[in-house]
């Protein structure tokens, strides 16, 4: 069994949130294939948790499923930068991010706090406060805080940090030359990779390397710099993308698989996949990833991440372990994700954003319907 960064309270890896379906400001096209990729990353994380908690064993490759979180962090940096207007107001950006993630996030915190949870996640006043404030990842010395209430939510603390930093960092990156930006991204990613390697070597650093937002920011920055290059017209050669995928896969298979080392090894593969899928769509080619059911699965993937461990563990406690239980949990989690997506995520996001627009217009136009 692989040496995975788990705590005594059945911790979990989290999710990264990126509004892939948004259109960029102006005329940048929607990249439906990137939305679909989220579905595969979500399924990978589900498979990892399925094996981690002993519900069903599907093979050694499934242990790499936790690296789906790295994919989400890279994708988040790419998508938010790809779609960011140069003159975007910081407060507007922050509010839209809040409206996008927090209603569903808060709902699942309430559900997991009140409803039965086998081997319940840690509960404490500091843990609850940190989770509500989206800062739990900043306490890697205390897994009871990191994995409090709804354990997968730790990665949202990383995303919150990325969101806070992006409006300040992006203007600086835009003013830099492409080569300078690439050097900055490579340097910062290398610095954070050192922490990841240290976490793989020294177990006392494993949780820091896994959940600390500053350590994970190298992945987000790499995605952001790639998006700036794409927005400026750069398109990756197919040969470069395929070589990167092959090299990363080979390295992951041959290198020590002690977590979280594979996160760093596979990050170039995620960048290559995103870059090639983007080029494919921007060149107007048809993509199987643009198949509507796959795109929809990607659209509900955030809610899927919020509910999947809660449903998986409760059904395993009720039905017992086994592949059938895992399959039922996957379907039920998908249904629950769709319900929250349509019943909470989209309505709350639309309501909050529309109210903010009305407030900005002033009282004399407040009666004009959005």
Classify residue 252: in a domain, yes or no.
yes
pLDDT at 364: 39
Q: Measuring CA to CA, which residue among 163, 162, 180 is closest to residue 172?
A: 180
Categorise residue 119: left if φ over 0, alpha if ψ from -120 to 50, beta otherwise: left
Q: What pTM was estimated for this model as a whole?
A: 0.88
pLDDT at 114: 87
DSSP-based three-state secondary structure for 140: coil
- The 10s digit of each residue's pLDDT in 201-246 is 888 888 999 999 999 999 999 999 999 999 999 999 999 999 999 9
pLDDT band for 174, please (50, 70, 90 cuts).
very high
Ranges 19-23, 118-122, 157-161, 305-309: which has the least confidence: 19-23
Q: Measuring CA to CA, which residue among 321, 310, 368, 319 is closest to residue 107?
A: 310
pLDDT at 220: 97
Average pLDDT over residues 158-170: 95
pLDDT band for 119, please (50, 70, 90 cuts).
low
Average pLDDT over residues 324-350: 96
Answer for the pair 267, 197: CB distance below 8 angstroms, yes or no: no
pLDDT at 6: 41
Neighbouring residues of 137: CB distance < 8 A, sequence distance ≥ 6: 146, 154, 155, 157, 158, 161, 211, 212, 213, 216
Q: What is the Cα–Cα distance from 139 to 215, expressed in whole angstroms?
A: 13
Does residue 18 register a pLDDT over 60? no
Classify residue 29: in a domain, yes or no.
no
Number of domains comprising the chain? 1
Please, is 239 exposed, middle or buried when counting C-beta atoms within 10 Å of its C-beta (0-12, 13-18, 19+)? Answer: exposed
Average pLDDT over residues 189-209: 89
* Helix runs in 118-177, H state only: 125-132, 143-146, 154-175
- Whole-angstrom CA distances from 249 to 103, 266, 312 are 37, 7, 29
pLDDT at 299: 97
Answer for the pair 1, 256: CB distance below 8 angstroms, yes or no: no
Average pLDDT over residues 288-293: 92
Ranges 13-22, 93-102, 153-162, 314-323: which has the least confidence: 13-22
Does residue 346 register a pLDDT over 60? yes
Classify residue 340: in a domain, yes or no.
yes
Classify residue 11: in a domain, yes or no.
no
Classify residue 106: in a domain, yes or no.
yes
pLDDT at 27: 56
Categorise residue 9: left if φ over 0, alpha if ψ from -120 to 50, beta otherwise: alpha
- The residue segments making up the domain with residue 274 are 35-359
Average pLDDT over residues 346-359: 81
Average pLDDT over residues 299-310: 96
pLDDT at 26: 46
pLDDT at 25: 40
Classify residue 327: in a domain, yes or no.
yes
pLDDT at 121: 78
pLDDT at 200: 83
pLDDT at 268: 96
Classify residue 1: in a domain, yes or no.
no
DSSP code, position 29: P
DSSP code, position 122: P
Classify residue 118: in a domain, yes or no.
yes
Ranges 93-97, 235-239, 255-259, 322-326: which has the least confidence: 255-259
What percent of the chain is predicted at pLDDT more than 90? 69
Does residue 106 register a pLDDT over 80? yes
């Amino acid at each position: 069994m692989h040496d995975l960064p788990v705590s005594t309270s059945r911790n979990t890896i989290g999710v990264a949130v990126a509004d892939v379906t948004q259109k960029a400001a102006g005329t940048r096209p929607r990249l439906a294939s990137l939305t679909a990729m989220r579905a595969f990353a979500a399924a990978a994380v589900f498979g990892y948790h399925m094996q981690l908690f002993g519900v069903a064993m599907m093979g050694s490759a499934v242990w790499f499923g936790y690296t789906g979180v790295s994919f989400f962090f890279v994708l988040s940096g790419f998508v938010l930068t790809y779609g960011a207007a140069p003159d975007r107001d910081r407060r507007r950006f922050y509010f839209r991010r809040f409206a996008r993630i927090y209603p569903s996030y808060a709902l699942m915190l309430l559900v997991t706090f009140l409803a039965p949870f086998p081997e319940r996640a840690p509960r404490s006043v500091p843990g609850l406060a940190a989770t509500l404030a989206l800062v739990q990842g900043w306490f890697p010395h205390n897994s009871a805080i990191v994995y409090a209430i709804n354990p997968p939510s730790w990665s949202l603390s990383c995303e919150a940090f990325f969101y806070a930093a992006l409006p300040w960092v992006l203007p600086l990156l835009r003013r830099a030359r492409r080569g300078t930006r690439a050097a900055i991204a490579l340097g910062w990613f290398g610095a954070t990779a050192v922490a990841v390697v240290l976490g793989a070597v020294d177990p006392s650093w494993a949780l820091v390397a896994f959940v600390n937002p500053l350590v994970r920011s190298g992945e987000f920055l790499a995605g952001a710099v790639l998006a700036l290059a794409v927005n400026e017209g750069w398109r990756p050669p197919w040969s470069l993308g395929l070589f990167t995928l092959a090299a990363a896969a080979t390295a992951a298979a041959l290198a020590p698989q002690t977590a979280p080392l594979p996160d760093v090894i596979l990050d170039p593969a995620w960048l290559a996949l995103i870059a090639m899928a983007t080029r494919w769509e921007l060149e107007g080619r048809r993509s199987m990833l643009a198949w509507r059911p796959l795109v929809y699965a990607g659209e509900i993937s955030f809610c899927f991440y919020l509910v999947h461990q809660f449903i998986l563990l409760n059904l395993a406690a009720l039905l017992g372990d086994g592949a059938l239980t895992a399959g039922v949990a996957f379907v039920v989690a998908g249904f629950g994700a769709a319900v929250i997506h349509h019943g909470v995520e989209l309505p709350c996001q639309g309501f909050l954003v529309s109210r903010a627009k009305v407030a900005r217009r002033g009282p004399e136009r407040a009666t004009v319907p959005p």
